[in-house]
Amino acid sequence: MEPLRAAASRFALARAARDGRVGGFRPKRNKGAIMAVPEKVRRRIEELRRQIDHHNYRYYVLDDPEISDEAYDALVGELRELEARYPELVTPDSPTQRVGAPPSAAFAEVRHRVPMLSLANAFTEDELRAWDRRVRGGLRGQRVEYVCELKIDGVAVNLVYEGGQLVRGATRGDGFRGEDVTANLRTVRSVPLRLRAEAPIPSFVEVRGEVYLSRQAFEAVNRERERQGLSLFANPRNAAAGSLRQLDPAVTASRPLQIFCYGVGHVEGLRLDTHWEALRWMREAGLRTHPASRLCDDLEAVLAFVEEWTHRHRELDYDTDGVVVKVNSFDQQHELGATAASPRWAIAYKFPAQQAVTRVKDIVAYVGRTGAVTPVAILEPVRVSGVTVQHATLHNEDEVRRKDVRIGDFVVVQRAGEVIPEVVRVLAERRTGAERAWQMPKVCPVCGSPIVRPPGQAVARCTGGASCPAQVLERLIHFASRDAMNIEGVGPKLLQQMLDRGLVRDPADLYRLTKDQVLTLERMADRSAQNVLDAIERSKQTTLGRLVYALGIRHVGASTAQALARQFGDIRRLMRASFEEIRDVPGVGPVVARSVRDFFDRRENRGLVERLLRAGVRPESPEAVGTGPLAGKTFVFTGTLDGIPRRQAEEMVRAAGGVVSGSVSAKTDYVVVGTDPGSKAERARKLGVRILDRRAFLDLVGRR
Ligand code: IVH
């Protein structure tokens, strides 16, 4: 059962072009010619769609086609022809309508009805046993069944079906809200546009799954990018994420993304009692689930599954990083509940990291965007879990000392969780005496400015700031990157050239580039230059969160940037905000607040923002708070909520559209009372405000 074979052949380009995934089939009605549709045609079209859906299901979900590719093509061809003649009969769920939406400027934010939590990890058998004991303890000795699934290393998505029709698809985002990538998910062949009528169809259902790219497809995508001089994706997961977050669905359609569905969120109009039932329902409804999933009677059966797949997972042509174990019964899941971050009823067992031995050819100091200098080991190329590794991070100076890594050493390297490779240890027994120790340089290898390491800090920094070309380049790369301004096609190589030629010095200069200037760069022809300019132009329409992230403020990652955007709603308000105001944003602490304040205290940074705005960058403020299920409801907290930090509780309220206030008044809707409450609880009682305990609060915000 190798789903890849099917996907690879059915994703042949010719077919992609034929069945509407590329090129965008948009029938146009002949002006004036209104034709009555014969009933016969109407029925034939419906019959063709039913048949094509059925064959897609056999092919993508069951991996067991019933008809030849030619016969399938003939059905699609006939449907296409009829739809061209009778465009009024084209429906959005027709199998010809996978690509249709034009490129968009940015993704809208959508809220998940049931949050998409993450999972706690286990790395050893003992940790799994301990988890099983906690589960059984929590259920006071009830019999517990588990379901084991492979943990696919891709991008989590949420598909919403209403009345059986796919109405929305979104990324996981921060777990509460993600990005609306419906147009892109519609191009994924194994995502059904409508659920199969053979299964009971709920009026509403959230389906959770992982979108991924096979290793073979990942390599093909990278080969193509290399040919075009674009930066390469580091691994299949990044390539899948990048493909899903394409602004032009036709680009997504050209990447053979696949999906495995592994759960349901909010459901209406369908009763499911166990996870195993949910998996079976999904399969019947035409949603692709992983064939290896197994229902286990006890922990011993779970351990056998883990043991089997620890060895077998490398046979698959896509990355998996572990096994997810879930309590089968939904009642039991409910009873166990969740901690603030993850459910108690599931755990992810992580496969051991893969390691390989190679030799350190050199150690170089790499200067990042904030000036941080990181020692990087340049390695003799070696394959680790299917990817060629040529360098590994050594993190910082102390780490080099601690591991005693020297130039010429043989070392063990590993890729853990498919991230940046690292040096695990040195094989000291293979030393010849010719190895050379490494020292942090005193001056920046790029700009010559002093490198300083403040006492008590692990990180050494180049003091060159905006005059260090390495920092400038890294800042530009960060600014243009996918999660920031997402300037498609403008990657490290192009930016390096622009810098070398003096075309840009900071991000705002990108918006002043002319076609003649871009044409002077290597490999640039008229069309590619125009594509670059178009991508830069498109990036002007962005979200405030992306812009804040793109500025590259130290300690401000994408989710912190989003939190700041949500709180301040406007870049100038953020620039003016006091240290205290920034610190009080949920998810932001004093270190981040200090860093943000320092950043905007510098004139050149405020100038950069002003120039970006003047150049036409239009950061859209986030969706106004107050549109979720708790829209307009005011909450006040008092006392501590066992296991949930106050900030997190406040964030849950905001994520559901509510407002948090510091004091109780007649306008307060709910007062959440934890242990050791203050006078607010008393006041709430007096005013007759509704009081919630921890459990009622979690129920209300949908976290149980
Ligand atoms: S269950 C509360 N099942 O792993 C249940 N997740 O760390 C949470 N993932 O965000 C998810 N395969 O991206 C689940 N079979 C599977 C999965 C899976 C991959 C990913 C998913 C999720 C992350 C959780």
| pLDDT tens column, 568-583 | 889 999 999 999 999 8
Lowest-confidence pick of 294-298, 438-442, 666-670, 671-675: 666-670
Distance 146 CA to ligand 1 centre (A): 15
Six-digit token pair at 674?
A: 């934890």
* pLDDT reading at 355 higher than 60: yes
Q: Tell me what percent of the residues of the chain surpass a pLDDT of 90.
A: 57
Measured from the Cα of 149, ligand 1's closest atom is 15
Ramachandran category for residue 462: left, alpha or beta (phi over 0 → left; psi -120 to 50 → alpha): beta
Six-digit token pair at 693?
A: 């305990």
How many other C-beta atoms can be found within 10 angstroms of the C-beta atom of residue 439?
12
Residue of the nearest CA to atom 23 in ligand 1?
118
- CA–CA dist 66, 484 (Å, integer): 45
- Helices assigned H by DSSP within 158-314: 182-185, 215-227, 236-244, 249-253, 275-284, 299-312
pLDDT digits (tens, 9 = 90+) for 471-513: 999 999 999 998 899 998 899 999 999 999 999 999 999 999 9
pLDDT attached to residue 623: 52
* pLDDT reading at 326 higher than 90: yes
Residue of the nearest CA to atom 6 in ligand 1?
151
Distance 154 CA to ligand 1 centre (A): 9
Distance 119 CA to ligand 1 centre (A): 7
Quick one: average pLDDT of 251-274? 93
Catalytic residue (choose from 28, 31, 40, 151): 151
603: DSSP letter: H
156: DSSP letter: E
Quick one: average pLDDT of 532-555? 94
* pLDDT reading at 348 higher than 80: yes
- CA–CA dist 686, 690 (Å, integer): 11
- CA–CA dist 199, 523 (Å, integer): 53
Ramachandran category for residue 441: left, alpha or beta (phi over 0 → left; psi -120 to 50 → alpha): beta
Which amino acid is present at 625? V
Measured from the Cα of 293, ligand 1's closest atom is 15
Q: Is 680 a catalytic residue?
A: no
pLDDT band for position 9 (cuts 50, 70, 90): very low
Ligand 1 contact via 347 beta carbon (within 6 Å): no
Candidate from 114, 117, 118 with most ligand 1 atoms within 8 A of CB, to mutate:
118
- Which residues are CB-contacts of 252 (< 8 A; sequence separation ≥ 6)? 183, 184, 187, 188, 243, 244, 246
pLDDT digits (tens, 9 = 90+) for 426-457: 999 999 999 999 999 999 999 999 999 988 88
pLDDT attached to residue 301: 96
Q: Which helix (H) or strand (E) holds 51?
A: helix 39-56
Measured from the Cα of 343, ligand 1's closest atom is 2
Ligand 1 contact via 346 beta carbon (within 6 Å): yes
pLDDT digits (tens, 9 = 90+) for 83-96: 999 888 998 889 88
Helix 3-10 vs helix 215-227: angle between axes, to the nearest 10 degrees?
A: 40
Ligand 1 contact via 119 beta carbon (within 6 Å): yes
Candidate from 117, 121, 150, 152 with most ligand 1 atoms within 8 A of CB, to mutate:
152
Candidate from 262, 276, 333 with most ligand 1 atoms within 8 A of CB, to mutate:
262
Cβ proximity of 552 and 480 under 8 Å: no
pLDDT digits (tens, 9 = 90+) for 363-396: 999 999 989 999 999 999 998 876 788 999 898 9
pLDDT attached to residue 456: 85
Q: Tell me what percent of the residues of the chain surpass a pLDDT of 70.
A: 91
Ligand 1 contact via 205 beta carbon (within 6 Å): no
- CA–CA dist 123, 105 (Å, integer): 42
Whether the predicted model's global pTM rises above the 0.75 cut: no
